[in-house]
Homo-oligomer: A and B are copies of this chain.
């Protein structure tokens, strides 16, 4: 009776190398019942904003013991999702009970509750958390959803500054790096969903901060909108080590690592004694069969560097504390956030693929519906 069409984005097959739009397809033949069966504990949501995140690349490969479970390409059903050992999955793996043979890509998003069998969620509530790349989703583990309390900010912010990337910047910078006033901070992929926040947090902490990005437009944003002290386009630099020596003649205390590979290799000799590297992502490596080797790790010893990887879900208990910090900063316009909005579910494959060529400027979001 409440059966409606439900367009979906489906992964066609496991991806090798750089993902392409054609690795995904739009499935227009699926339908969904927007009314839950009697006694269900699930919720039905209408997806509003979907988040494009670099970690999703890892799920497009056949799993080799990664921290996130591989997606199941459309040709294979995965109706009963095995809960993996990884904490990430507790938050990210949400599969709708589709009657079809295809599952949409799973990711984070902002959604509106249409029907609820869960005591804490009711119709018209707004939530963010793990959902499907489709118009409507059935969320079988609604406890993993965050209820949205503040709606006087753009709702899409819950895919970014008020969501997982915001928490990533907060935990990765404050908790992992323990910044001190006057320290020298370098952020790679600095115009991205996380990097733009790390740079602004660094300035709020009284640090000197330099960011790298891959276009002139992004470099301008870093300097003129986000308040980085300096910024450079890494694609225009012949010798990244020399570049960093130019911007950090006294060395780097904190490196917020988003890219890996050659950039990390250039950073290591420039680290200061007791420097900290927050290893958040290594996007330069995700599409390589074999990552580029980092040949100078010995500097970790000689500079007493702490390099710490982290998974943001381990810090999700700190969300209330983060919200208390970030909401006033947003409202007082002491922090800003740039998003790159792709309109319509049909634009989702290109939006996701664009992350890996750096096409997005700021946080990449797909707008499925505005309410």
The chain A residues found within 8 Å of chain B, CB to CB, are: 65-67, 85, 87, 260, 264, 269, 273, 279-282, 285-286, 290-311, 314
The count of identical subunits is 2
* A302-B84 Cα distance, complex, nearest whole Å: 14
Do A282 and B307 have beta carbons less than 8 Å apart? no
Beyond A285-B298, A293-B295, A304-B311, 16 extra complex contacts between A and B, CB < 8 Å: A65-B269, A67-B303, A282-B298, A291-B295, A291-B298, A292-B295, A293-B293, A293-B294, A294-B297, A300-B307, A302-B309, A304-B310, A304-B314, A305-B309, A306-B306, A306-B308
Question: 4 closest pairs, A vs B, by CB?
Answer: A293-B293, A300-B309, A67-B302, A301-B309
B-chain residues with CB within 8 Å of residue A67 when the two chains form the complex = 301-303
Q: Which residue of B lies closest to A66 (CB)?
A: B302
Please give the distance in Å from A250's CB to the nearest CB on chain B.
11
Please give the distance in Å from A27's CB to the nearest CB on chain B.
30
* A65-B272 Cα distance, complex, nearest whole Å: 11
Please give the distance in Å from A358's CB to the nearest CB on chain B.
18
B-chain residues with CB within 8 Å of residue A309 when the two chains form the complex = 299-306
Please give the distance in Å from A242's CB to the nearest CB on chain B.
14
Q: Is the interface of A mostly helix, strand, loop or mixed?
A: loop
B-chain residues with CB within 8 Å of residue A260 when the two chains form the complex = 297-298
22 A-B contacts (beta carbon < 8 Å): A67-B301, A67-B303, A85-B273, A87-B273, A279-B297, A279-B300, A281-B301, A282-B298, A282-B301, A285-B298, A286-B298, A290-B295, A291-B295, A291-B298, A294-B297, A300-B308, A301-B311, A302-B311, A304-B308, A304-B314, A305-B308, A306-B306
* A292-B303 Cα distance, complex, nearest whole Å: 19
Please give the distance in Å from A170's CB to the nearest CB on chain B.
16
* A314-B290 Cα distance, complex, nearest whole Å: 37
Please give the distance in Å from A249's CB to the nearest CB on chain B.
13
* A292-B295 Cα distance, complex, nearest whole Å: 5
Do B297 and A280 have beta carbons less than 8 Å apart? no
Do B308 and A280 have beta carbons less than 8 Å apart? no
Do A282 and B297 have beta carbons less than 8 Å apart? yes
B-chain residues with CB within 8 Å of residue A292 when the two chains form the complex = 293, 295
* A307-B292 Cα distance, complex, nearest whole Å: 19
Do A280 and B301 have beta carbons less than 8 Å apart? yes
B-chain residues with CB within 8 Å of residue A296 when the two chains form the complex = 291
B-chain residues with CB within 8 Å of residue A264 when the two chains form the complex = 297
Please give the distance in Å from A169's CB to the nearest CB on chain B.
15
Please give the distance in Å from A83's CB to the nearest CB on chain B.
15
Contact (A307, B308) CB under 8 Å given A282-B298, A295-B292, A297-B294: yes
* A292-B65 Cα distance, complex, nearest whole Å: 25
* A273-B65 Cα distance, complex, nearest whole Å: 12
B-chain residues with CB within 8 Å of residue A285 when the two chains form the complex = 297-298
